[in-house]
Structure 1
Amino acid sequence: MDIRDIARLSGYGVGTVSRVLNGHPNVSERARERVLAVVAEQGYEPNGNARYLKLQAKTSIAVMVKGASNLLFADLLERIQARLEERGEECHAVYLGEDEDEVREALSYSRTMHPKGYLFLGGDPACFKRGFSGIRVPSVLLTNSAAGFGFSNLSSFSTDDAAAAARVVDELVEAGHRRIGIIGGNREIGQVSQIRIQAAVDRLAHHGISFDFDRDYEPGHYTMDEGYQAAVRLLMRTSDITALFALSDVIAFGTLRAVCDMGRRVPDNISVAGFDGIELSQFCIPRLTTVRQDTARLAALGVDTLLASIENRATPPVHQHVPFTLYRRESVRRLTPSSRKG
């Protein structure tokens, strides 16, 4: 019996079962209980040493996941694992903190596990430029672009973050908002968050709206807790904001709670828009206006391109944007002239 049998018997995907067995937090209690019940019923005992030996012998594909609390990456990983299984491939997920150097960790992993390819979920361009030349196997970066890095064994697929962030700003401005705050990420050059922030600020300027970073922006990691804390700090500092653009849905979820705990309501007092379009965004209260990244397309392109590169090392790298969709939902209020501030 192996992990695929546990997945079949439990009714959950291989990725979910893998996260349960590895003690990863991004699993519902219902799924965890069901998977562990099947494990107990079947007397399944995962042998860590045997698994690693098997992976090493088959030279599996390694997936470097940057951000254990990133629900977008959890969705991507599930789809990647399913597609690799369809192709008869195995993979091993390596979870990293948002501030860790994914390329350095991949180099360390290569010395012991010898994967035949890498999929990077999220990445810091500085890390790739500094250290990727040491990675010799085919690799794909998902959710950030590696175009211009100059590595023949590194492809990338991502959403056009600048265009998507600009579209969110257009949505807020068209709804009558002119005092808009931005929450999450950081402003390091080349980071996905910096691209989104700069595009949003540029689009505000296009609409004749000035943006003061000291007044209107608050950084934070891509977690609900940091989204909550960032929203509290920003709203306590700047009282006239009517809309918040959270750089991810998980940050937006924390923001929704913060607004409520501060005695205000979304969208009656403050509108909130997110970014990612994860499944939970349509079930929170209120339903979240957000940009949806096409995780199914990203996963398929990433896996298929990586396997093609493994089969033919002469295949040139591919760098491509995947279309996004704006979901207009309940969390953004359309203001009347009399209700506008600023």
Structure 2
Amino acid sequence: MTIKDIAKLSGYGIGTVSRVINKQPGVSDKAREKILKVIEESNFEPNGNARKLKRCGGNTITIIMKGRHNSFFMEILDRITILLSELEEVVSCQIIDEDGDEVAEALKFVHDKTAKAIIFLGANLALFDERMNEIDIPCVVATTSARELAFNNVSSVCVDDEAATMEIVQYLTSYGHKDIVVMGGEISDKQISFSRYLGCKKGFEKSGLKFDPDKNYMACRYSYEAGYETTKKLLEKNMHVTAIVGLSDSIAVGAIRAIEDAGKKVPDDISVVGFDGTVISRFYTPRITSMGQDINSIVKRSVELLMKHMHYTLECEHDYAPHKLIEGESVRRV
């Protein structure tokens, strides 16, 4: 007998059942009475995690989103919030800068005893240090793999970033491109950009091309402005470039605008590929070829893992969501 079974038998949502189990407010007398009756009749006993959450006193699922200008994260945030609301969960959101400290933000909610679980939307794993030992509530990292972390309460859902960017480079080389520049993030093995960087490097190697970090990579924040300014710098070098890989769609959009402002055309002069498959990539002119992340899978699985670990004492889990190249109008053969 699980909390889902209790919800099904009582006719109420998982969130309502959870609040009754944890003796929290916000439930009508009628609903509480019905749920308690089902619990009694089924001999259901809350597990250790549920009791621990009750002692913590938090009643909110907190989402900490990293990056104020990340359109992909905004899409995920909207969908996660809707799904959690449908489960009758109380949700709060904290948006921090791309260079912010998400663990420090999480500790504020833990110390205030307002959060019963946390979703990290984007993460710099280098920040997940010994401070995480103070966070004894379920956590899920969405869009970044936390597989290498040694914390049993931290699960994760993401695409295979390394495989995805390798496929992007191989796609471009199949169109004849050899002079390719990758833009995005910083080279740090604790950040999502590192897996994407490694994937691009591997794509070069598998295509028989030499990858020179000084020539084929430029660090860049995940924003329209950063994509624009970084591409301007690239064009000012007068290097021979036939394709740019933006490690996010926002970088790709900025890159295209910089190319157009320099009097060049996409894809006639330079091809551009993005990453994420956001709405803007499909409606921008030209439509941007982008490596799409399955947002529905990321959202659904992140919430499923969080809810499961809120009610059961289990080992952390790390899942991959599907990815697929979405062809637009921003790449041509050379």
What is the CA–CA distance in structure 1 between the aligned matches of 2:285 and 2:113, rounded to whole Å?
44
What is the CA–CA distance in structure 1 between the aligned matches of 2:267 and 2:323, rounded to whole Å?
24
What TM-score do you get using the length of structure 1 for normalisation? 0.79
Q: By how many angstroms is 1:57 displaced?
A: 7.2
- Whether the 8 Å contact between 1:232 and 1:259 is mirrored in structure 2 is yes
Work out the number of aligned pairs and report it: 279
What is the CA–CA distance in structure 2 between the aligned matches of 1:272 and 1:74, rounded to whole Å?
23
In the other structure, the counterpart of 2:163 is 163
- Whether the 8 Å contact between 2:58 and 2:114 is mirrored in structure 1 is no
Q: By how many angstroms is 1:216 displaced?
A: 2.6
| 1:186 matches 2:186 | yes
Report the aligned-residue RMSD: 1.4
What is the CA–CA distance in structure 2 between the aligned matches of 1:164 and 1:130, rounded to whole Å?
31
Q: By how many angstroms is 1:113 displaced?
A: 4.5
Counterpart residue type for residue 164 of structure 1: A
Counterpart residue type for residue 331 of structure 1: S
Cα deviation 1:81-124 (Å, max 9, x = unaligned): 11101111011000111111101111122222420000000001
Between structure 1 and structure 2, the one with the greater Rg is: 2
4+ residue runs over 6 A deviation: none
In the other structure, the counterpart of 1:220 is 220
What TM-score do you get using the length of structure 2 for normalisation? 0.81
In the other structure, the counterpart of 1:150 is 150
Counterpart residue type for residue 110 of structure 2: S
Q: Percent identity?
A: 35
Counterpart residue type for residue 134 of structure 1: E
What is the CA–CA distance in structure 1 between the aligned matches of 2:204 and 2:152, rounded to whole Å?
37
- Whether the 8 Å contact between 2:297 and 2:322 is mirrored in structure 1 is no
Q: Secondary structure at the match of 1:95?
A: strand
Cα deviation 1:181-204 (Å, max 9, x = unaligned): 011211011211111112101210
Give runs of aligned pairs for residues 56-71 of structure 1, distance below 5 A. 59-71=59-71
What is the CA–CA distance in structure 2 between the aligned matches of 1:128 and 1:103, rounded to whole Å?
6
Unaligned runs of 5+ in 2: 1-55
Cα 1:130/1:242, change in 2 over 3 Å: farther
- Whether the 8 Å contact between 1:184 and 1:230 is mirrored in structure 2 is no
Q: Secondary structure at the match of 1:186?
A: coil
Unaligned runs of 5+ in 1: 1-55, 336-342
What is the CA–CA distance in structure 2 between the aligned matches of 1:58 and 1:134, rounded to whole Å?
15
Cα deviation 1:107-150 (Å, max 9, x = unaligned): 12222242000000000111113432221000100011111312
Cα deviation 1:282-336 (Å, max 9, x = unaligned): 1101100011111111111111110111112x1221101111011111100011x
What is the CA–CA distance in structure 2 between the aligned matches of 1:150 and 1:105, rounded to whole Å?
20
- Whether the 8 Å contact between 2:120 and 2:141 is mirrored in structure 1 is yes
Q: Secondary structure at the match of 2:275?
A: coil
